[in-house]
Structure 1
Amino acid sequence: MFIDPESDPRADPPPQADERSTLAAFLRWQRETLELKCSGLSPEQLARRTVEPSTMSLLGLIRHMADVERGWFRRGMAQEPATPRFYSDDEPDGDFDGAVADAEVVAEAWRAWREEVEFAERFVADARSLDITFDDKWRGPLSLRWVLLHMIEEYARHNGHADLMREQIDGRLGQ
């Protein structure tokens, strides 16, 4: 196992809770899983591309998820004019391409990710309802409920990638 179950820092979602608490807890668990999969690695290991020809790395996933959080919660739900941190129209894969083995790049990725997670958690906690919406330019009105479910799916998919990358880096198996 990746970690002894007695040492697992993640809190299991509550087996009986209201919808908002349940969704928030499952999303928190997925976020903590990404953090766990990246723990204890050097900048070189975090930046390592282990599934060629893909440019995906654990560091790239951290940067990518910071921008995903920012896009759905800050730009979408909160309607703030927040440009992406790590990619642009000129560099659409900047979140992965810019994930280089440098301690400051790693520190900035974690800072950005934690800031966006903190914003999202506050937004969800303060939202008057899971039924609030914003107009997505491709899908039309999307509810906070939809965004939370989508984020759980997004993290779950990328945590599967993280399992494979971590195994290639140091042999530690997914859990």
Structure 2
Amino acid sequence: MTTPSRRAEMFVPVERDPRVLGPATGDERALLVDFLAAQRATLELKCTGLDAELSQRSVAPSTLSLLGLLRHLADVERRWFRRVLAGHEAPPLFSSPSDPDGDFTGAVPDPQVVALAWRAWRDEIAFAEAFVADAPHLDVHGHDSWRGAVSLRWVLVHMIEEYARHNGHADLLRERIDGAIGV
């Protein structure tokens, strides 16, 4: 990785950056899918090259870590695409009613914990991508106990927002780990 000299430079060289290849015009679904893919790729880039360091906490008493974000976003993907939109019985993988912050508190520097987080995150993304590709339109909807009826369109926008917020956290966490900066 080349360390940028300014925060606004790219995290990786532009010719290797998977986030800049998508459409800037076109239909709504293609644009939403591409924006979400770019946000997912940003999180992955911020975690690239790290193993146990992924579990490094931001600052006491916070439990925030890159590994915690990865686990949290696996659960968020699972909730919105599997449970709400697809209607599957799919409880969270890393949190529970008795440990609602388990996605973060369980993010420990164990190679098996790290591997499970990556596998779960990638599996949930694969499910979400297949669901979106197979959906006949963006008005497909599911029922959420928090929001009521939600459309695929709303979930895609919400997921872009969710990743964008947490990618801001990831920027700071990665910089604290090894000084790497860039968008």
Q: Normalization by structure 2: what TM-score?
A: 0.92
Shift of 1:11: 4.1
The equivalent of 1:100 in structure 2 is: 108
- Choose the corresponding residue for 1:166, options 174, 177, 180: 174
CA distance in 1, matches of 2:69, 2:51: 15
Deviations along 1:59-98, whole A, 9 cap, x unmatched? 0010000000000000000000001100000110000000
Q: What does residue range 1-175 of structure 1 map to in structure 2 within 5 Å?
A: 1=4, 2-43=11-52, 45-175=53-183
Do the aligned residues in 2 keep the contact of 1:134 with 1:142 (CA within 8 Å)?
yes
Shift of 1:5: 2.0
Do the aligned residues in 2 keep the contact of 1:135 with 1:141 (CA within 8 Å)?
yes
Do the aligned residues in 1 keep the contact of 2:51 with 2:114 (CA within 8 Å)?
no
Deviations along 1:12-54, whole A, 9 cap, x unmatched? 33011211111001000100110000000121x1000023321
Deviations along 1:95-137, whole A, 9 cap, x unmatched? 0000000111100000000000000000000001101111222
CA distance in 2, matches of 1:14, 1:167: 30
Letter of the structure 2 residue corresponding to residue 65 of structure 1:
L
Do the aligned residues in 2 keep the contact of 1:50 with 1:169 (CA within 8 Å)?
no
| Aligned-partner SS, 1:141 | strand
Shift of 1:139: 1.7
CA distance in 1, matches of 2:50, 2:18: 17
Do the aligned residues in 2 keep the contact of 1:167 with 1:174 (CA within 8 Å)?
no
Do the aligned residues in 2 keep the contact of 1:12 with 1:29 (CA within 8 Å)?
no
Of the structure 1 ranges 3-12 and 135-144, higher mean CA displacement relative to structure 2 is found in 3-12
Do the aligned residues in 2 keep the contact of 1:65 with 1:113 (CA within 8 Å)?
yes
Gaps of 5+ in 2: 5-10
Count how many residue pairs are aligned between Structure 1 and Structure 2: 174
Letter of the structure 2 residue corresponding to residue 120 of structure 1:
A
Gaps of 5+ in 1: none
| Aligned-partner SS, 1:142 | strand
| Aligned-partner SS, 2:25 | coil
| Aligned-partner SS, 2:59 | coil
The equivalent of 2:8 in structure 1 is: none
| Aligned-partner SS, 1:10 | helix
